[in-house]
Amino acid sequence: MKRQVSSKKLLSQQYRWKRRLLVLILFGFAIGSFLVMQQTQHASITTSLASIRHRFDDHSSQPKIAFLFIARNRLPLDMLWDSFFKGYDSSFSVYVHSRPGFLFNKATTKSVHFLNRQINNSTQVEWGEATMIVAERILLKHALQDPFNERFVFVSDSCIPLYNFTYTYDYIMATPTSFVDSFSDSKEGRYNPKMDPIIPVQNWRKGSQWVVLTRKHAETVVNDTTVFPMFQLHCKRKSLPEFWRDRPFPADNSKEHNCIPDEHYVQTLLAQEGLEQEITRRSVTYSSWDLSSTKDRERRGWHPMTYKYSDATPMLIQSIKDIDNIYYETEYRREWCTSKGKPSGCFLFARKLTRPAALRLLNMDSTCTYKLGHLDEEIDVLSLEYNEEDMELCITDFK
Predicted local confidence at residue 23, as pLDDT: 64
Specify which residues 205 forms β-bridges with: 184
Interval 66-124: pLDDT, tens: 999 999 999 999 988 998 999 999 999 999 999 999 999 999 999 999 999 999 999 99
pLDDT of residue 49: 41
Mean pLDDT of 342-371: 79
Query: Looking at 40-44, 135-139, 224-228, 321-325, which range is the least confident one?
Result: 40-44
For the whole model, what pTM was predicted? 0.75
Q: How confident is the model at residue 372 (pLDDT cuts 50, 70, 90)?
A: very low
**Which of the residue ranges 151-160, 201-210, 255-264, 278-287 would you say has the lowest mean pLDDT?**
255-264
Work out the pLDDT band at 362, boundaries 50, 70, 90. Answer: confident
Q: At what angle do helices 215-222 and 265-272 cross, to 10 degrees?
A: 100
Amino acid (one-letter) located at 5: V
Report the pLDDT value the prediction gives residue 293, as an integer from 0 to 100: 45
Q: What's the per-residue H, E or C state across 160-197?
A: EECCCHHHHHHHHHCCCCEECCCEECCCCCCCCHHHCC
CB 143 within 8 A of CB 93: yes
Dihedral sign for Cα 362, 115, 149, 213, please: positive
- Which residues are registered as beta bridge partners of 384? 381
The confidence score (pLDDT) of residue 148 equals: 97
Whether the Cβ atoms of residue 99 and residue 72 lie closer than 8 Å to each other = yes
Nearest to 352, CA basis, from 263, 291, 267: 291
Whole-number Å distance between alpha carbons of 10 and 28:
27
Tens of pLDDT, residue by residue over 235-292, are 988 765 544 445 554 554 545 678 999 999 999 999 999 999 999 999 999 998 765 5
With a CB cutoff of 8 Å and minimum separation 6, the contacts of 113 are 81, 82, 85, 86, 94
Q: Give pLDDT, residue 379.
A: 35
pLDDT of 387 reads 35
What's the pLDDT tens digit per position in 3-46? Answer: 454 555 555 666 666 666 666 676 666 676 666 566 545 444 44
Q: Give yes or no for residue 298 having a pLDDT over 90.
A: no
Cα 41 from chain centre: 37
